[in-house]
């Protein structure tokens, strides 16, 4: 399924990429592929910006601004609290 | 559990556990200390001889804990030291759940501890196939599924938080009805049923029908379903024009809001998109609810 602004902040710096394939291993939405021993973004619109690829890229070749895609957490933040789940979150 | 009852007690003591009869050469799998997660992993690993390293995620599942950082590099390093894993096994390999990758940097782990990290499948039920195939996850094992079953089990938690405000709205409507008619008439049903239905539509129907409702913003999907519902309710249980319009606006706002809160339970919404949705939808929802309340009050006075 697709949402709004999916993958807009995802940037891959090909010059730094050594093609280790970690991003393919960690991405839960199949956003990346390997071509000529280089990672490429093949399905940007599927990206939920979770940040797993950036976290696990040993060459620091990936940038993405991640955060919780949760309206309640965002509203909590707007009401002066922290952007976060609170105690009665549906997420276990 | 799915209703959130006693959820805080559902923690497992962190540490190193044996499943079956592991030897120093056996694989080490890592997971969170949410009891449902641990039970699922143990069930999937029945018949295997492996080590299970349980991190302290405060009873939260792997994905959410990784997002918060509690299932993270620092906790993994700490748990390796506390359990003395390096003395227990002869190899230097860890198998982590793929969704833990949001919080763990594999290359950092290698640098800090000498342990290499492999990410296993997203779902515990695929672990046997992953182990049998020599640590190869198929592309399907790497995807996070979000079919109607996954959406259905999430709906109880959506409703749990909403029953108190819903009862408050119903009580307020009953009071207004008394003020207007000096008695509780059968027409009250035409005011209460749309509200209850609107909450259920937003909390259950929208999550279930999510892929088929037009629009990308969840609040928009909710407003569409809510609009259809209040129109149907008005046909089945007609009320006066002004109060009917007021309740319709409140109902649409409720369904849209409930639908919007489901963003947090999905597997594909991103932060930027949700922020955009909240900025546009929240004022519209509040305006609709406010106008609805105003109309309902006008019906009492007029």
Instruction: Give the dihedral sign, CA B295/B163/B159/B11.
Output: positive
Intra-chain end-to-end CA distance of chain A, in Å: 22
**pLDDT at position B79:** 98
Chain B positions touching A31 (Cβ under 8 A) are none
**pLDDT at position B145:** 87
Chain B positions touching A90 (Cβ under 8 A) are 154, 157-158, 261, 264-265
Out of A49, A75, A88, closest to residue B271 by CB:
A49
- pLDDT confidence bin for B108, thresholds 50/70/90: very high
Instruction: Give the dihedral sign, CA B232/B237/B238/B241.
Output: negative
- pLDDT confidence bin for B7, thresholds 50/70/90: low
User: Which residue in chain B has the smallest CA separation from A77?
Assistant: B275
**pLDDT at position B9:** 65
Chain A positions touching B272 (Cβ under 8 A) are 4-5, 8-9, 49, 65, 67
Look at B2 and B192; give whichever has higher pLDDT: B192
Query: Which one of B72, B272, B285 would you mutate to disrupt binding with A, by most A Cβ within 10 Å of its Cβ?
Result: B272
**pLDDT at position A90:** 46
Residue B268 has pLDDT above 70, yes or no: yes
Structure pTM? 0.88
Whether B111 contacts chain A with CB within 8 A: no
Percent of the residues in chain B that have a pLDDT greater than 70, as a whole number: 97
For residue range B285-299, list pLDDT tens digits in order: 999 999 999 999 999
**pLDDT at position B2:** 58
Based on C-alpha coordinates, what's the Rg of chain B?
Answer: 25
Query: A42 CA to chain B: closest CA distance, Å?
Result: 14
For residue range B56-107, list pLDDT tens digits in order: 999 999 999 999 899 999 999 999 999 999 999 999 999 999 999 999 999 9
Fold of B7-142: Rossmann fold (3.40.50)
CB contact under 8 A, B274 and A47: no
Burial state string for A20-31 with b = 16 or more CB within 10 A and e = fewer than 16:
bebbbbbbbbeb
Q: Which two tokens stand for residue B233?
A: 């309710």
Residue A87 has pLDDT above 60, yes or no: no
Burial state string for B244-255 with b = 16 or more CB within 10 A and e = fewer than 16:
bbbbbbbbbbbb
Query: A63 CA to chain B: closest CA distance, Å?
Result: 13
For residue range B40-64, list pLDDT tens digits in order: 999 999 999 999 999 999 999 999 9
- Tell me the β-bridge partners of A41: A32
Asked if residue A5 belongs to a domain, the reply is no
Based on C-alpha coordinates, what's the Rg of chain A?
Answer: 15
Give me the mean pLDDT over the A28-43 stretch.
Answer: 96
Number of domains present in the structure of chain A: 1
- pLDDT confidence bin for B1, thresholds 50/70/90: very low
Q: Average pLDDT, whole number, for chain B?
A: 94
φ, ψ (nearest 5 deg) of residue A36: 55, 45
Residue B197 neighbours by CB distance under 10 Å: 19
Asked if residue A58 belongs to a domain, the reply is yes
Give me the mean pLDDT over the A3-24 stretch.
Answer: 95
Chain B positions touching A63 (Cβ under 8 A) are none
Q: Is B94 helix (H, G, I), strand (E, B) or coil?
A: strand
H/E/C letters for each residue in B165-206?
Answer: HHHHHHHHHHHHHHHHHCCCCHHHHHHHHHHHHHHHHHHHHH
For residue range B156-188, list pLDDT tens digits in order: 888 888 999 999 999 999 999 999 999 888 889
**Best CA proximity match to B24, nearest among B92, B117, B109:** B92
Residues of chain B with CATH 3.40.50.11600: 7-142
Chain A positions touching chain B (beta carbons under 8 Å): 1-9, 22, 24-30, 46-52, 55-56, 58, 65-75, 78, 85, 88-92
CB contact under 8 A, A6 and B273: yes
Chain B positions touching A51 (Cβ under 8 A) are 102
**pLDDT at position B46:** 95
Q: Which residues of B, range 1-20, sit inside 8 Å of A by Cβ?
A: 4, 7
Which residues constitute the domain of residue A64?
11-78
Residue B216 has pLDDT above 60, yes or no: yes
For residue range B117-151, list pLDDT tens digits in order: 999 999 999 999 999 999 999 999 999 989 998 89
Residue B30 neighbours by CB distance under 10 Å: 24
Residue B300 neighbours by CB distance under 10 Å: 15
- Looking up residue A60, the CATH number of its domain turns out to be 3.30.70.20
CB contact under 8 A, A74 and B269: no
As a whole number of angstroms, the longest Cα–Cα distance in chain B is 83
Asked if residue A89 belongs to a domain, the reply is no
Q: Is B125 helix (H, G, I), strand (E, B) or coil?
A: helix
- pLDDT confidence bin for A92, thresholds 50/70/90: very low
**pLDDT at position B4:** 58
Contacts across the A-B interface (CB distance below 8 Å): 154
Q: Which residues of B, range 170-209, sit inside 8 Å of A by Cβ?
A: none
**pLDDT at position A89:** 54
CB contact under 8 A, A90 and B143: no
- Residue B221: partners with Cβ closer than 8 Å, 6 or more residues away: B206, B210, B213, B214, B215, B259
């Amino acid at each position: 399924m697709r949402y709004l602004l999916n993958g807009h902040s995802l940037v891959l710096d090909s010059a730094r990429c050594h093609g280790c394939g970690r991003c393919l291993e960690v991405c839960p939405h199949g956003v990346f592929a390997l071509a000529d021993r280089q990672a490429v973004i093949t399905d940007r619109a599927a990206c939920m910006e979770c940040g797993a690829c950036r976290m696990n890229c040993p060459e620091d070749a990936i940038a993405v601004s991640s955060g919780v895609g949760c309206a309640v957490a965002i509203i909590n933040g707007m009401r002066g609290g922290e952007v976060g789940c609170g105690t009665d979150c549906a997420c276990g | 559990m799915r209703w959130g009852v006693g959820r805080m007690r559902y923690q497992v003591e962190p540490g190193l556990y044996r499943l079956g009869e592991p030897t120093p050469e056996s694989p080490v799998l890592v997971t969170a200390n949410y009891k449902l997660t641990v039970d699922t992993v143990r069930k999937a690993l029945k018949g295997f001889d492996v080590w299970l390293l349980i991190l302290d995620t405060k009873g939260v599942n792997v994905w959410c804990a990784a997002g918060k950082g509690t299932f993270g590099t620092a906790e993994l390093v700490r748990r390796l030291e506390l359990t003395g894993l390096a003395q227990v096994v002869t190899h230097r390999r860890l198998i982590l759940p793929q969704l833990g990758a949001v919080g763990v940097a594999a290359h950092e782990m290698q640098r800090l501890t000498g342990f290499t990290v492999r990410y296993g499948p997203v779902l515990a039920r695929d672990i046997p196939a992953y182990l049998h195939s020599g640590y190869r996850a198929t592309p399907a094992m790497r995807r996070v599924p979000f079919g109607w079953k996954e959406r259905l089990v999430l709906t109880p938690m959506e409703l749990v938080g909403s029953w108190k405000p819903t009862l408050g709205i119903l009580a307020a409507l009953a009071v207004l009805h008394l003020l207007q008619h000096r008695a509780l008439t059968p027409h009250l049903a035409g005011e209460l049923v749309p509200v209850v239905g609107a909450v259920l539509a937003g909390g259950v129907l929208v999550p279930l029908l999510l892929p088929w409702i037009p629009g990308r913003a969840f609040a928009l999907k909710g407003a569409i379903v809510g609009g259809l519902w209040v129109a149907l309710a008005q046909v089945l249980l007609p009320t006066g024009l002004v109060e009917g319009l007021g309740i319709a606006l409140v109902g649409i706002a409720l369904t849209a809001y409930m639908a919007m809160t489901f963003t947090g339970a999905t597997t594909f919404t991103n932060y930027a998109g949700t922020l955009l949705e909240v900025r546009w939808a929240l004022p519209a929802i509040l305006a609709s609810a406010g106008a609805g309340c105003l109309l309902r009050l006008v019906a009492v006075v007029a």
